[in-house]
Chain A
Amino acid sequence: MKVNHRPKSGLSILFGFSFALSATLFAADYEIVEKQDQIQVESTSFASEHHRLVVKILTSEGAGYREYLSVNSYIQIKNIDVTVVSSEGASRKMKSEDIVEVPVVDSPDMITDFKAIVIAPQDLTPGSIVRIEYDRNVTNLLYLDRWVYASNVPIRKASCSVTYPVSMPMKFRGEDSSVRVQKSEKTGVNTILMDTANQTEVFLRGVSGSIGAVEKKVVFLPEQCMTEKWQLSTKSWEEVAQWFSELTKFAYHEDPSMDPVVQDIKSRYKTPEEVADALYQYVQKNFSYTAIEIGIGGYKPRFVSQTFLKKYGDCKDLSFLFIALLKKAGIEAYPALVDTRHSKFFYRDFPSPTQFNHCIAYLPKIRNGVWADSTVKNFRLGEVPAVIQGKQALVSGGPNTLIQIPEDLRNSNVMRFELSGSFAEPVLQMSGSVHTLGQANVYVDAMRNALLKNAVKNYVYSNLLMPGFPVQKLETHYSNERELKFSYHTPVQALDHYRLFLINAVSYPPLENRAQDPQPNEFYSLGVPIRLVVESTIDLAGHVLVSSAVSREKKGEFVTYSVDLREESGKLKYLTDAYFANGFLNDSEMKTYRQELEEFSARIVRTVIVR
């Protein structure tokens, strides 16, 4: 669907949901005094788990503590036992009828079989202790519970045991030096014991991402398991790719009505690249994003014939449809699994389908390899959303291995303001356009919707232009699919012989990060990289520039900019080109980012004086 609303695989829904909810409370409102997780893998398709959690409420806000347990057709939860001990020591059991199962309501375009069991103990006060125990069974080992040992609440003591038959080798990943690991074998059963203590909170701040990305956790997966009737080997990426090929090989079931579409495009376009681009536009324009992820549907696409007729689908459905159309046109293409989360969280040495949450297409013979995301709107072939640039993609079929998607983040998400101004005292009239590339296209596309016209103007006013700046009589017009025309007035102040006016009203959202004081264990999810270019030419109508001419350039680790201001033949020429390498930063990276922002902030020219 949208670049900023990634489709998710089944597991990411599970994780994202539970963490989003737990993140609603402040970190220090409660703490986990103890957590014990026991996982017993019994076969290639069944594991039983027992979980125990002791939570202490620390503040009155913590009285709102809730525990959410995800269930779906592969996950059963039973024997939930909850005891609340009040701060005065009185103990009471929570009645099972007070534990409820509710649907998981994500977004309107997401249909899922995930539900949540809500444990909401009443009358908690600071000092209360909540003890929760429950059994969890999974019938698909991709849904084995991960062991979280540091999250956004303090964890005083945590332990985990995993037992599995020696005939079923198990791999795990994610522990750090604070975790003690012991392995043992007894009567044909292997046991991994892990424990740790006094883990402080991990914080996540910023515009996107979930705490699940930064919490410390160990994930487990057997080297062999069954995903319904498909056998998955996780010894190598090639074997994971092979599993995906097997799982999806019947997806290419076509419908005869697809033929005319391909024939029509082939008759109008000559080269394979033009045909591929036209088919890409066809999919973007005629199909909408709706994810129906039920059971294995989190990984397995539907028949392309169904997608073609229904006119909607999720990332897998739309990618497979696009690939099927390409194949019909004689163009080689393969599906590729990719993770939209930051590459810091990708374990290259841990082959597993659970590391991916998105599916795209790979066209190896077009321009030495082109990647296409069919869930976006208003993208051309070869333009790749910033969230997947530079990521490892597992191509299923063809090369059948991990390939890194090329990265050109500086040009992936660009807004270029081109303005010209003229004096008509007491105002300066500015007019021009904003050209967009990448994610920013969405807003231009939205201008076509008459019901959203005010919303887009609102967007321009509140996001593209700096709040509080004297921008008056703003008008925005849809120009073409990637361009908005706009105009505004800004006052010219007269001070003696001088005239003062605003030349750069553009908002630089990263500058808002100046308010952040990075702390240890803090992570910052700052969204996708963005480049903002402001280019203005103002007719000075006989005035002379008083402000000093400027010509500066700086290439930083996170902020790269150039500023140029000069008078040329009675005109004021102004250019600021600023690139912000947003992403997922730890606290020390954030400190550097802040210093660079501070410098940029001091160098940027907002107003000029003429006389």
Chain B
Amino acid sequence: MSLRIFFALCIFLCVPFFSEAAGAHRFQPLKDTLAQYRILKVPESIDYPDIPAVGILSYQQYRQGGLRHTRTYHKIIKILTAAGKEYTNVRISCFSTCRVEARTIKSNGKIINLPGKDLHRTENLSGYSSVFFVAQFALPGVEPGDIIEYYATVDYPMPFLLEDFRFSEPYPVMKGVFQLSHPVDDSYSFVRYSSPGGPPVKVSQDRHTDEQVTLNSTIFIVDNVPAAVVEPYSPKARQGHPGMRLIIEARSGMRFDVFKDWSSYGQFLIGQTTQFSTLSADLVSFARNASGDTQDIREIITRIYSSADKRIQITDESLLSTGFEFTSPDKSFADKIASPHDFALFLAACFKVRRWTTELVLVNSHEQSETSKAAVFPPDLDLVFLSVKTPIGEFLLDCSENGIPAFHLSSASANRFALAVPFFAVATRFSTVPVYLTTLAYKEGNRNHMEITAVPGSNQWDLDFRWMLGGEYQASFVRLFRQKGHTELQKALIQTLRTRLEVFDLKDITYRFLKDGMEISGKASRPRIKIQENVELLQNELWNSGFEIRPYLMENRTNRLLLPSVGEISTTVIVRSKDFSVTLPQSVTLECAPVKYSLSFTKNSQEVRIDETLTIRDMAIDSGSFSEFSGFLDNYYAKHFWALLLTPVSAPQTSSL
């Protein structure tokens, strides 16, 4: 099996699957199990009002053995309400042998075992290879007040290497237990997580003999784990819940230096790429043609990056899913398709033609920089950049997806930890991606600016608009244009503009791609609203900024809030108002780091100008700021809703009313 397939399978197996009824295990009386885990009380619904179910015990054991490992799951759940029956349908994925036993313990103590015929396993039907099977069952006769218990053992056809384990379930858990057992000449490192004020993860270790093999066991225990409820605009629900990160250190006495520290991991990656240092004539020719005859270094980088971006489709394969294998730049060039890290390697090869050195910069978008250094965990490094070192300085290029302008840093990378790995070289260094908004001009960043000029017509306001998009805001349109061409892009623009401007009729829509973004322009109209004979109203209720984070998102929240992007969203409205006397609202500026909002109204004899800007400097809002941020949002939505009163200058003024 190639490393690529091996690691792809690894990722698949990291998903907590469980399936095959009956086996050697036999349930012991519930009270004995509870006593074994020191669970003193079976909860009642009064203890968890309106909660559908509570986990009494969630036990998992991973037992490493040679080239395989076995996972054992033992769950005891009390169903408290009818909605809790959702948790009585269980699906378990297995690979070769796996054993399942399940039962319902009625509130009167009667036990209903899951009959073997009610455990459904998807057998191989076609003769073509089946990587995995699914076993499913529904626990019988469950009513609110009953307890369900199941026990499953799944054999995995590979050693256990690493996992970011969390104890939480979609319901609260009274006792979470995880046991890692392995032969004494294997070892694992671990880092524990618990949220501030949350339950701690207790750990103990012992050594015992099982089937004549001496095993080391590390046992992690957590009490009262809160439910992991999906929250919008958030990292994964389980993130931030108690758990631990486990990484293999040694197997059969052989140490795995790869995951010892970040430097070792970087060295490992260097080793993966050195074989590609020789470039083909085709690739050299591509790089030379792409840069053309300019001597401007910045322009050369832009041209090569842009040509590569147009030629090669970037997939979303991660470095782990490709088994840490890189594809040669020549193959990426020929296939016109590459993963982000292969695209970075391809670009590095192009810049090697210029004798510029390059680094693969892998960024952790999940955590702030310092915490990321605590433990090596390659899946965390999910964004890929290339750093190009030239005689005039260092430039970063985003390799994570197509359609991003040169030198743009994505929202998720701002202020995040990064690991820089020299391509075709021997050293590794750490870095922190510079704070995006302080180092790059808006034109090179995420910019979403709409300019609308409103001219009064007979019954309507004629709107002329110009919409400028930079960075990530334009990326999806660029990709669509490349893949589908003009017609599909035109359709998408019309749909988006209708939502943004909240209008039906749009005409003369044109677009052009500029060096630092995309510009769309066109015309639309909205009816004039007369509220009295000589008074009319112009309001922005229908000009949608696209920013929809609401104050309630901060209530009872356990996870960080992730704003959709960093950058700037702005609108300028110019109202041709020479025939009107206009009453203006007050200008306003609101700020709550990392977000700032300003709204200003100015007028002269010809026009009224409304400038509205929302600036976001970091995607993450941490829990300590939720209350303050909620207040900011309340103010923002109140002020964002503005209106102008217009009175024809020939008519009596409003003050006389």
Contacts and interface: CB of A to CB of B under 8 A. Distances in A.
A311 B143 contact: yes
A63 B138 CA distance: 39
Q: Most chain-A CB neighbours within 10 Å: which of B496, B544, B552?
A: B552
B495 A515 contact: yes
B98 to A, nearest CB: 14
A36 interface: no
Contacts of A550: none
B491 A517 contact: yes
Interface stretch (A142-150, A330-338, A444-452, A561-569): A444-452
B337 A63 contact: yes
B544 A468 contact: yes
Interface stretch (A44-52, A96-104, A396-404): A96-104
Contact of B130 (A100, A109, A502, A594): A100
B480 to A, nearest CB: 10
Given A310-B140, A496-B583, A607 B82 contact: no
A498 B138 contact: no
B250 interface: no
Interface in A311-362: 311-312
B545 A288 contact: no
B483 A448 contact: no
B583 A495 contact: yes
Contact of B83 (A449, A495, A602): A449
Given A111-B136, A454-B231, A468-B545, A516 B125 contact: no
Q: Most chain-B CB neighbours within 10 Å: which of A59, A111, A467, A469?
A: A111
A132 interface: no
B125 A71 contact: yes
B124 interface: yes
A493 B643 contact: yes
Interface in A209-236: none
Contacts of B638: 470, 472, 491
Interface string B623-653: 0000000000010011011111100000000
Interface in A469-508: 469-474, 491, 493, 495-498, 500, 502
A588 interface: no
A111 B89 CA distance: 9
A284 to B, nearest CB: 9
A498 B645 contact: yes
Contacts of A97: 129
Q: Which secondary structure dominates chain B's binding surface? A: mixed
A101 B483 contact: no
A609 B128 contact: no
Interface string A47-78: 00000000000011101000000011100111
Contacts of B556: 453-454
A462 B550 CA distance: 9
A410 interface: no
Nearest to A109: B89
Contacts of B49: 450
A497 B656 CA distance: 10
Contacts of A285: 82
Q: Most chain-A CB neighbours within 10 Å: which of B128, B143, B313, B585?
A: B128
B657 interface: yes
Interface residues of A, number: 85
Contacts of A495: 583, 585, 643-645
Interface string A12-52: 00000000000000101100000000000000000000000
B229 A451 contact: yes
Given A60-B313, A449-B81, A292 B640 contact: no
Given A458-B552, A495-B645, A80 B128 contact: yes
B107 interface: no
Contact of A491 (B51, B227, B230, B641): B641
B124 A101 contact: yes
A285 B81 CA distance: 10
Interface in A523-582: 546-548
Interface in B292-351: 313, 335-337
Interface string B113-138: 00000001010111111111110111
B89 A311 contact: no
A584 interface: no
Contact of B335 (A78, A102, A123, A496): A123
Contacts of A101: 124-126, 128-130
A552 to B, nearest CB: 15
Contacts of A365: none
B126 A117 contact: yes
A113 B643 CA distance: 60
Contacts of A546: 531-532, 535
Contacts of B643: 493, 495, 500, 607
A109 B85 CA distance: 10
A274 to B, nearest CB: 23
Q: Most chain-A CB neighbours within 10 Å: which of B126, B495, B532, B557?
A: B126
Interface in B58-84: 81-83
Contacts of A92: none
Contacts of A115: 122, 125-126
Contacts of B51: 449-451
B548 A468 contact: yes
A454 B557 CA distance: 9
Interface in B416-440: none
A380 interface: no
A550 B506 CA distance: 28
Q: Most chain-A CB neighbours within 10 Å: which of B85, B335, B495?
A: B85
A471 B637 contact: yes
B52 interface: yes
B253 interface: no
Contacts of A123: 335
Contacts of A461: 550, 552
A457 B131 CA distance: 42
Contacts of B86: 108, 288
A461 B131 CA distance: 43
Contacts of A61: 313, 483
A601 B335 contact: no
A453 to B, nearest CB: 8
A294 B119 CA distance: 12
B368 interface: no
A77 B499 contact: no
Q: Most chain-A CB neighbours within 10 Å: which of B122, B335, B535?
A: B122
Given A72-B125, A125-B335, A547-B531, A292 B52 contact: no
B446 to A, nearest CB: 20
B484 A28 contact: yes
A261 interface: no
Given A294-B120, A449-B81, A517-B491, A310 B126 contact: no
A606 interface: yes
Contact of B138 (A80, A312, A462, A548): A312
A491 B585 CA distance: 13
Given A76-B126, A100-B128, A451 B654 contact: no
Q: Most chain-A CB neighbours within 10 Å: which of B136, B141, B232, B643?
A: B136
Interface in B271-306: none
A105 interface: yes
Interface in B466-496: 483-484, 491, 494-496
12 contacts: A29-B483, A59-B483, A71-B125, A71-B126, A99-B128, A100-B131, A102-B130, A450-B50, A457-B555, A469-B641, A514-B504, A611-B657
Given A101-B126, A115-B126, 5 more contacts: A99-B128, A311-B142, A448-B50, A471-B637, A493-B585
Interface of A: 26, 28-29, 59-61, 63, 71-73, 76-78, 80, 96-97, 99-103, 105, 108-109, 111, 113, 115, 117, 123, 125, 285-286, 288, 290, 292, 294, 309-312, 446, 448-455, 457-458, 461-462, 467-474, 491, 493, 495-498, 500, 502, 512, 514-517, 546-548, 594, 598, 601-602, 606-607, 609, 611
In the A-B complex, list the 5 residue pairs whose CB atoms are closest, starting with the nearest.
A450-B50, A103-B134, A515-B495, A60-B313, A491-B638
